[in-house]
Structure 1
């Protein structure tokens, strides 16, 4: 499979050529059987497979997109900047069980981050035969590092020339460096069908028997993709066998039926891997398709499908995340193209997630009651899954039901957790197909896992709503308004999970007419962190109103936290400002340094003296620092959620914030706050919450 690099312009074409050269060179240097490159994409936190050689890209579609926070070796190499070396399957399954759940084959792999200076472009990977018990040697580690460094230099050159070095297209298929083997007249005389398939999945040779057994003339098979010519081999169960052969190098045997027509003869398929590709053999099977015994490498993947989904579901925290996992893991496993999830609420089913259906088609079924005769309802009320091998079968069973297509198959699965109905799940397929007893059993079991995950997510969302309500009640609803100083606060909960954090900000008017600007961050998430935050905020207000100095306020809060909750930590920055003169005194307890934008537009990171975080040492002291807030200047206090990005140094985030503050207009201050949050804290999967407090003096 080949694809034009994202964008299609000269710079993108140049990136594709660089990736192709680097991938082939790395595979040759490491004695590999395949390789590829993942690059950062235009979506924050998402890596995309940009180039691949030695493997048909279409077989590995579930791994085309990888989030940097996922437990995969590619993500870890990019996130940490450290190489990952997996000499065999045992090592891989110990370190990355979720990867091996989907690819349970014996192979070795190496992953090297690709970066130059502060830039991190992606990850170079090589797949090669496993070396059980023998770690990757220093020479191979060096060769891999050298290949990645060479690629990084070329990508850095492209970046300097204006190429953003991002990838937002399908993978670029790079021709395999070993030419595919040919076949002679002797093979044409065999009664067995023989196909020579290269590592991109293209048929280079087909003998006459292959044409007879498949029903496609040999001449039409040659030069085309195997699954393009023989789509019935593209069933997800058969894809697993091909993945096993390509990755493990071991022979794989299985039976298959040509298409959905039961009159078609079953074929026995053999896959024999070689450096140049696969030899595929075909002959009439003695048993019905599905009754044959696959080789260990091919058979191993079947039980891992539920395992892969189960592992991924344990990490899903919201109903939306559960639905996304089902889309990414379940649909590819069974060759499905459509998915809908309905959740039960007060005896009505409400559409919670859909993908692949025509826009608006499912709206008519949203909110249906449990007394309506529809397959999505009856599968839940009866507790039995319903399988329809064609749309005609579905229409016959439910006369008058609206259909979104003339052809296809449907599976309706009840979502029941611990005996309690949760909802129903619909799987859609583009073509008619049968469902074997094994598939029906697996799908039913997976529906139970999905139901449990959704039930857990709904409980979690309810608890999170309680925690957020608590936090909203504890944060200030409005800030004091004074004649000389304007203040604006912003709070955003984390978007990767549902737990709220312990970030807070406050502005306090003291008896002496000064303003106390406060920001803090309690360790942890959830109701406990929010409650601790509320206690600390109250303590700081009490100490501030009592006329204490910044050092005394922070010291008193530190001792109170140790008394309230030993083992709980928090950071804090406290600035006491005189609105008339602009003079301020600050104390800091393990908190990020504030930023100051001067009236002329220059922005800098302040260097405030500080002490340890609150809650560690009852005798800790906190030195004070003097500063001046000139008219037109803006002081920015923030928590680390605004500057931390997974896989990047926090100093890079602070520099982004400083640059954004320098470019932001100081008036109105509300727009400046919104711009800072949007430009530096707008990641789609932000693990931490954010607090920001701005103060400017006129």
Structure 2
């Protein structure tokens, strides 16, 4: 048997279970470089190492392991690299090992194998291009493109490193790395910190528009010796530098690298170059998407309030969450508007739909609300005017809106809704409930009048306003979302109350920006509020995390506004009823002097007396009873004169010979600002004066 095997023209090997060569005939010696005279000894090479001289080495290794594991015969046709000859290698399991039989194959079979492999390579190339195309088609952002390339390109080629750089339009020949995979952080930081050298693989690829393949570290350093530090820091040993060309121009470069020496054959190089075209197109599309999204984000930010006002009677925090990965701007908005006499308006709304049209409509509505709020309109009247505006914009535009006015003088809040979800009121104990409010119809289709509701809001309470995008999702109906919102609020407040220390002194509370709410050492507003300011931001974060745990998967924008009102202390308010005769002005001056002296605001005595005299005189002369005077001390001094008339006061230009008509001109000169608002019982003419700056001794 041994003689027969020895004289066979074909090669024969016998290996044990550890793939050590036990026997090799002379033909196998010539093919595999084994030593037949040392049969029975460990030659020192596993079979997979002995066949390094054959092309399709990885495929042969795979077939060998499959035959060993399955104990089923197998084989493959392979080509020897040194002489180009083709051989058929067949494997068959034997007890405790494997027999390997190697024979020549004829020319017809060679052509058949070549054709089969060509078809196989074409199918595999098409499959890779298809997989990458599918992945890139769903890539919206630049990071999506980087992830798709890392997942679809690196593994088939055995690569483990990727960098993608783009040319910066604002800086000539400057490449910015937009994505890197498979490199240490130190190398990535180095690349981002240092500009691309004028002589480098990336620069050469950008200039020539042709790929560059560097197979070894030595070759890289020989070509670019000044970049040796980068080569060693990268930990890579082979590279493929590919130009990224889109719309006929170079937009950047892509580097695919290997941790071992790697020589890419012509087929692999051609395939990588084809894939680079797909990468370039996807990258250009993603960059345009990112730019559009950035512009849309800036537009959205410009339409929303950049900062909520710091008010002595209300603190607020808000969140806006855009829908998913869409670059469309939305129609959700919120606002906090200071009104006269310490009152504050809270507004939140939602223009149905997404896009620039809806965003523009939202901007117009927000501006309209601000204008109407300055006119001191009641919530229901404001929504009537807003409904007319939306109706005039077009039949296909609809919006919801919730408008609320908080009055710190009686700790009440008046709500009016146009198709908007009801707000949540959290009482001082931390118990949340929805305000039982008539929602009415959305703006644009509503039929006035709008229903209003007045609710008592004791100090320590919270008001939570939101749009439907926060509560309602594709998988969660509105009712369940509202239940989750309420449950989250209850849990958040219970957690805060459990971790809170003893109630603070009433004079230790701070205003929105942390400054003590005092005036010459006397508290200016009611400081009784055990909830610290940071709580509002924490509640916003807890609500958005609970209701929108994955904002990228949402299909609607969401807006959230959480407010904490503060009422005036009784000691910061003073009011009187005046007689309906000319003596009222004199009595008003006496009352003013007494109250301002009590409040240590003697510096405002003269101006305040003049202002009140003019307002009370006008009320007696042009209005009707009852006449009431009220002073409010907050971050400013507010004077109010109310009467039963609805006549609008206005400043007129008095001629030099006129004996009167200059009263409101005097009020305008003395007050920081003034105005009038109207109620069911008449009008209120009010003024505001800035408090004097306290002096510090020494």
Scaled to the shorter chain, the TM-score interval is 0.5 to 0.7
* TM-score computed with the length of structure 1 as normaliser: 0.56
Whether the aligned pair in 2 keeps the contact of 1:386 and 1:411 (CA below 8 Å) is yes
- Alignment partner of 1:309 is 2:121: no
Secondary structure of residue in 2 paired with 1:476: coil
- Alignment partner of 1:384 is 2:210: yes
Shift of 1:424: 0.9
Whether the aligned pair in 2 keeps the contact of 1:634 and 1:696 (CA below 8 Å) is yes
- Alignment partner of 1:339 is 2:149: no
Instruction: Flag structure 1 segments of 5+ consecutive residues without an equivalent.
Output: 1-189, 196-202, 221-225, 243-251, 272-280
Shift of 1:626: 4.3
Whether the aligned pair in 1 keeps the contact of 2:411 and 2:457 (CA below 8 Å) is yes
Q: 1:505 — aligned with what?
A: 334
Paired positions, count: 477
* TM-score computed with the length of structure 2 as normaliser: 0.56
Change (3 A) 1:506 1:449: same
Secondary structure of residue in 1 paired with 2:252: strand
Shift of 1:448: 2.1
Match of 1:654 among 475, 482, 485: 485
Shift of 1:538: 1.2
Q: 2:532 — aligned with what?
A: 668
Q: Deviations over 1:402-423 (max 9, x none)?
A: 2236764211111121122211
Shift of 1:631: 1.6
Change (3 A) 1:268 1:525: farther
Q: Deviations over 1:126-161 (max 9, x none)?
A: xxxxxxxxxxxxxxxxxxxxxxxxxxxxxxxxxxxx
Secondary structure of residue in 2 paired with 1:685: helix
Q: 1:436 — aligned with what?
A: 265
Whether the aligned pair in 2 keeps the contact of 1:338 and 1:355 (CA below 8 Å) is yes
Whether the aligned pair in 2 keeps the contact of 1:256 and 1:269 (CA below 8 Å) is yes
Change (3 A) 1:421 1:684: farther
Match of 1:375 among 193, 201, 204: 201
Q: Distance in 2 between matches of 1:290 and 1:270?
A: 15
Q: Deviations over 1:61-98 (max 9, x none)?
A: xxxxxxxxxxxxxxxxxxxxxxxxxxxxxxxxxxxxxx
Shift of 1:620: 7.6
Change (3 A) 1:378 1:515: same
Q: What is the RMSD computed on CA atoms of the aligned residues?
A: 5.2
Q: 1:411 — aligned with what?
A: 240
Q: 1:55 — aligned with what?
A: none
Secondary structure of residue in 2 paired with 1:636: strand
Secondary structure of residue in 2 paired with 1:376: helix
Q: Distance in 1 between matches of 2:423 and 2:18?
A: 64
Secondary structure of residue in 2 paired with 1:630: coil
Whether the aligned pair in 2 keeps the contact of 1:467 and 1:500 (CA below 8 Å) is yes
Q: 2:695 — aligned with what?
A: none
Q: 2:463 — aligned with what?
A: 635
Change (3 A) 1:339 1:612: farther
Shift of 1:547: 4.2
Change (3 A) 1:234 1:418: farther
Whether the aligned pair in 1 keeps the contact of 2:317 and 2:561 (CA below 8 Å) is yes
Match of 1:466 among 295, 315, 323: 295
Shift of 1:598: 1.8
Change (3 A) 1:338 1:583: same
- Alignment partner of 1:695 is 2:557: no
Q: 1:153 — aligned with what?
A: none
Shift of 1:375: 0.7
Alignment of 1:119-518 (within 5 A): 287=110, 291=114, 293=116, 300=123, 302-345=125-168, 346=171, 347-366=173-192, 372-402=198-228, 403-404=231-232, 408-493=237-322, 496-510=325-339, 514-518=343-347
Q: Distance in 2 between matches of 1:471 and 1:256?
A: 63
- Alignment partner of 1:685 is 2:552: yes
Whether the aligned pair in 1 keeps the contact of 2:318 and 2:540 (CA below 8 Å) is no
Whether the aligned pair in 1 keeps the contact of 2:323 and 2:551 (CA below 8 Å) is no
Change (3 A) 1:392 1:419: same
Q: Distance in 2 between matches of 1:614 and 1:193?
A: 87
Whether the aligned pair in 2 keeps the contact of 1:584 and 1:626 (CA below 8 Å) is yes
Secondary structure of residue in 1 paired with 2:552: coil
Whether the aligned pair in 2 keeps the contact of 1:317 and 1:498 (CA below 8 Å) is no
Secondary structure of residue in 2 paired with 1:631: coil
Shift of 1:535: 0.8
Q: Distance in 2 between matches of 1:301 and 1:236?
A: 14
Shift of 1:337: 1.0
Change (3 A) 1:623 1:336: farther
Change (3 A) 1:253 1:548: farther
Whether the aligned pair in 2 keeps the contact of 1:339 and 1:425 (CA below 8 Å) is yes
Shift of 1:572: 2.6
Shift of 1:607: 4.7
Q: Distance in 2 between matches of 1:209 and 1:611?
A: 93
Q: 1:19 — aligned with what?
A: none
Which range moved further: 291-300 or 317-326? Answer: 291-300
Change (3 A) 1:590 1:337: farther
Change (3 A) 1:643 1:332: farther
Change (3 A) 1:397 1:601: same
Q: Distance in 1 between matches of 2:118 and 2:242?
A: 31
Whether the aligned pair in 1 keeps the contact of 2:441 and 2:447 (CA below 8 Å) is no
Larger Rg: 2
Q: Distance in 2 between matches of 1:348 and 1:456?
A: 20
Q: 2:409 — aligned with what?
A: 580
Change (3 A) 1:647 1:397: farther
Whether the aligned pair in 2 keeps the contact of 1:577 and 1:584 (CA below 8 Å) is yes
Whether the aligned pair in 2 keeps the contact of 1:516 and 1:574 (CA below 8 Å) is yes
Q: 1:106 — aligned with what?
A: none
Whether the aligned pair in 1 keeps the contact of 2:334 and 2:348 (CA below 8 Å) is yes
Instruction: Flag structure 2 segments of 5+ consecutive residues without an equivalent.
Output: 1-9, 35-41, 43-47, 66-73, 92-99, 498-529, 567-698
Shift of 1:520: 1.9
Q: Distance in 2 between matches of 1:515 and 1:420?
A: 56
Q: Distance in 2 between matches of 1:237 and 1:553?
A: 81
Shift of 1:694: 1.3
Greater RCO between the two (CA within 8 Å, min separation 6)? 1
Shift of 1:269: 9.9
